[in-house]
Amino acid sequence: MYVCLCRAVTDHEIRDAVEEGAVHVGQLAERWGLGTGCGCCRETAQQVIDQHLAETLGIAAA
């Protein structure tokens, strides 16, 4: 599903970015511009990051 409609970024792409080292939504902004349009996706994107870190890498969400 699309998390960022303005920049057409999906949850799958965000999870891939986490596996490549992303831990903060700001890194997704640098990579794709996520959150730099209307900005309403930033909280959801961070939740996708935190959830994927917790589930796959064993890092507890902050």
- Of the candidate spans 18-26, 29-37, 47-55, the one that interacts with ligand FES by CB under 6 A turns out to be 29-37
The residue (of 18 and 28) whose beta carbon lies closer to ligand FES is 28
The residue (of 41 and 53) whose beta carbon lies closer to ligand FES is 41
Using rule CB under 6 A, residue 34 touches ligand FES: yes
Three-state secondary-structure class, residue 20: coil
With a CB cutoff of 8 Å and minimum separation 6, the contacts of 18 are 49, 52, 53, 56, 57
User: Which candidate, 62, 33, 58, 30, places its Cα nearest to that of 46?
Assistant: 62
Q: Under the rule (CB under 6 A), what is the footprint of ligand FES?
A: 4-7, 34-41
